[in-house]
């Protein structure tokens, strides 16, 4: 199964793709798209086009996005929410259901603690995906989101199988 994680952003939108085969996880690719334009509509359109091209090239089987957390700045939170809407639209257009995870859930799944720092996330992503060199901190976060989603999908699959056997 090929899993894509996306860390939404209007300036830097990180993405990461991993291949999952049972307990084995392998880094496929990662990067950062940087939408262009000064007007909000132009930036959102650019984000959609750039992310759609990455999505088409990577052809993931599953996708997950980090949930928006409320910043101190309400306007900033609304702008991030708009970017997140575009980010969720791209996999939905490909017919995928998008997993959503709170930042603390991603950190807990990858690092083991919900309030990990960016450098801890980067370190654990590199440990779990040997040879991986994230393009940016946003790409490292996206890979962490993909790892979190892969773990949740596998766990829910095992749970469903156990319930079916019972």
Structure tokens at 61: 């089987």
Is position 21 annotated as part of the catalytic site? no
Among the options 19, 42, 61, 66, which is catalytic? 66
Is position 141 annotated as part of the catalytic site? no
Among the options 42, 61, 73, 138, which is catalytic? 138
Residue 21 is labelled as binding a ligand: no
Is position 7 annotated as part of the catalytic site? yes
**What is the residue-wise DSSP string for 92-129?**
HHTTPPEEEE-HHHHHHHHTSSTT--HHHHHHHHHHHS
Residue 133 is labelled as binding a ligand: no
Candidates 140, 59, 149; CA nearest to 101 is 149
H-helix or E-strand containing 161? helix 137-165
Residue 7 is labelled as binding a ligand: yes
Among the options 7, 19, 21, 100, which is catalytic? 7
Active site residues: 7, 66, 138
Which residues are known binding-site members?
Answer: 7, 66, 138
Which residues are known binding-site members for Mg(2+)?
Answer: 7, 66, 138
């Amino acid at each position: 199964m090929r899993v894509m994680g996306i860390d939404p952003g209007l300036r830097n939108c990180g993405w990461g793709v991993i291949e999952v085969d049972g307990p084995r996880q392998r880094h496929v690719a990662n990067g950062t798209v940087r939408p262009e334009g000064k007007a909000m509509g132009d930036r959102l359109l650019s984000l959609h086009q750039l992310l759609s091209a990455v999505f088409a090239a990577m052809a993931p089987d599953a996708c997950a996005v980090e949930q928006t957390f409320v910043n101190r700045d309400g306007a900033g939170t609304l702008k991030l929410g708009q970017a997140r809407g575009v980010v969720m639209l791209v996999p939905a257009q490909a017919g995928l259901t998008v997993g959503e995870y709170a930042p603390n859930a991603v950190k807990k799944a990858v690092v083991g603690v919900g309030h990990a720092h960016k450098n801890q996330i980067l370190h654990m992503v590199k440990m779990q995906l040997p040879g991986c060199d994230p393009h940016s901190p946003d790409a490292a976060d996206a890979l962490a989101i993909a790892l979190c989603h892969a773990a949740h999908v596998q766990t829910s699959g095992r749970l469903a199988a156990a319930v079916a056997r019972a």
